[in-house]
Chain A
């Protein structure tokens, strides 16, 4: 029956059928995704580095403030703790004593954050060290944005204060949690 069909129609159908054969795969379209190889570009990389001296549209050009530029809140300290645990604790340890896991595996030990010198250091000092590095510590400015650097600095101060805290510093209603004194909870 098909043989009976006019030849031009058959040819058209065949041509259409062939056209379907060389579909470019939709999984891999003619566009560059982040980190995709882009032959011919520098390093054959689709991801480009910004031109030297580029300033992000939302970057602050103001000089770095001398101290915490935002209000000191519990949220800021919690943010600081989370960021400290991610970026600082591998070396400085979660307690700030400077014997984190990577130090235990051989990296030179940083000074304890509870040293008298660092207890006296202004927050600006920690901000600067995070931004530019210090000694064998690399700069973290690419990994930790400015607000997080201040949050970490504030949290370091909280760690330092906590180490020298006395029971009297703890609010009355929280104290039983530390002393394990169940009777105190009953006291009106």
Chain B
């Protein structure tokens, strides 16, 4: 009677066992990569907007400060989207016949706000305050990236909880002095004041940054 298992069954058993293990690992790694990829986090998401507003032109080209339009960033939870009047401060004089800007003029004439599509949308179970960050040394660029190089606004950072915690666990390397909050291309490590000194200056208590209720309330 032939043996139930041939000799090669030995190696086959090893291959199958290792294969199952490898497959499980591959699935986990693949799932993790997908979970952290732009497919899941929306990094690079640049929705079409009623007006193709270019931060590159207004920030990089003209050198407007973020707060010229987002004037609520220092005093409010939301940075604030500028009302049509803010656009018209200049565009009542400039680019008067540009077809691109016709929705802005329509908005002013009809007293109906422009409908922008939100780019940075946090889940409803998180509480985020611009005021709390901007007044405590976190620059616009840290979360929004180099908007001065964005012809169309896109999401530059993953906005995952892990990404938030990277900074909340160790804020000092990311902090800027108050006059550099809106600066673009500023590197806290290269041109900055040591983070330890800024932590003291802003009176930041790192312990409180890790409490659940700091962000989930």
Contacts and interface: CB of A to CB of B under 8 A. Distances in A.
Contact of A107 (B71, B90, B112): B90
Contact of B62 (A26, A86, A101): A101
Classify the secondary structure of B's interface with A.
Answer: loop
21 contacts: A27-B123, A27-B124, A28-B123, A28-B124, A29-B125, A35-B78, A35-B118, A82-B179, A86-B68, A90-B64, A90-B68, A101-B62, A102-B62, A102-B90, A105-B94, A106-B93, A108-B93, A136-B93, A138-B88, A138-B89, A143-B86
Contacts of A31: 124
Interface in B138-182: 179
Closest 5 pairs (CB-CB, A-B): A27-B123, A29-B124, A86-B65, A138-B89, A143-B71
Contacts of A86: 65, 67-68
A134 interface: no
B50 interface: no
Contacts of A35: 78, 81, 118
Given A26-B123, A43-B112, A86-B67, A142 B85 contact: yes
B81 A26 contact: no
A105 B124 contact: no
Interface string A47-70: 000000000000000000000000
Nearest to A104: B62
A82 B74 CA distance: 13
Chain B contact-residue range equals 20 to 34
Interface in B86-124: 86, 88-90, 92-94, 112-113, 115, 118, 123-124
Contacts of A90: 62-64, 68, 90
B124 A33 contact: yes
Contacts of A102: 62, 90, 94
A180 B43 CA distance: 50
B185 interface: no
A28 B115 CA distance: 19
Interface of A: 26-29, 31, 33-35, 37, 43, 45, 82, 85-87, 90, 101-102, 105-108, 136, 138, 142-143
B196 interface: no
A142 B83 contact: yes
Contacts of B125: 26-27, 29
Given A27-B125, A35-B78, A105-B62, 4 more contacts: A86-B67, A102-B62, A106-B93, A107-B90
Contacts of B77: 34
Contacts of A101: 62-63
Contacts of A107: 90, 93-94
A108 B64 CA distance: 18
Contact of B92 (A27, A105, A136): A136
B91 to A, nearest CB: 10
Contacts of A105: 62, 94
B43 to A, nearest CB: 17
